[in-house]
Amino acid sequence: MLVKNWKEQIEEVLNYCFSKKWSVLLNKEVEDRCFPDSKIIHINTKQNFEYQFYSLLHEVGHMIEHQNASWYNKKYPGFYFSRNSLTYKISMLEEEINAWNKGLKLARKLGLYINDKNFHKYKAIYVSSYLSSIEKKKKIIKTP
């Protein structure tokens, strides 16, 4: 497949979102984030178009993960624990990785171009921030 214009690819993902009745706000004043209850996605436009595309895929991945609430709650039981618990943080890490994977799967399904090296590098940067949070928590846990 030929490399498409990143803006065009963003438009294709936006059309997918609109078909699901999800709203997307593209703005330089917001953080990349998904609000499943209100079906809204925020994407920061300060980043270049390629990374906006990957961020959008990731946030759409979260929306896909949240579509079935009972399944979601069974898949991530750690979310019933305290936010400071290691169990919660591991579920958060799993959910983050799954959102990246769901977004990538959607891009493939829609026939969109992904620069695999850049995508996985970008994913690794964001996932590593969750790992450092878990590592801090792990240091205070005593093993028998």
- What CATH number should be reported for the domain holding residue 34? 1.10.10
Question: Which residue has 């438009």 as its token pair?
Answer: 11
> Is position 1 within any domain?
no
> Is position 63 within any domain?
yes
> Is position 105 within any domain?
yes
> Is position 23 within any domain?
yes
What tokens does 16 get? 């997918």
What's the CA gap between 113 and 18, in Å, rounded? 20
Q: How many domains is the chain partitioned into structurally?
A: 1
Domain region containing 85:
6-138
Which CA distances in Å does 23 have to 2, 65, 103? 29, 16, 16
In degrees and rounded to multiples of 5, residue 115 shows phi and psi of -85, 100
> Is position 117 within any domain?
yes
> Is position 123 within any domain?
yes
pLDDT tens-digit profile, the chain (144 residues): 445 699 999 999 999 999 999 999 999 999 999 999 999 999 999 999 999 999 999 999 999 999 988 889 899 999 999 988 889 989 999 999 999 999 999 999 999 999 999 999 999 999 998 887 776 655 544 444
> Is position 144 within any domain?
no
Number of H helices, E strands in the chain: 5, 3
Secondary structure of the chain: what % helix, strand, coil (to 5)? 60, 10, 30
pTM of the predicted protein model:
0.89
> Is position 49 within any domain?
yes
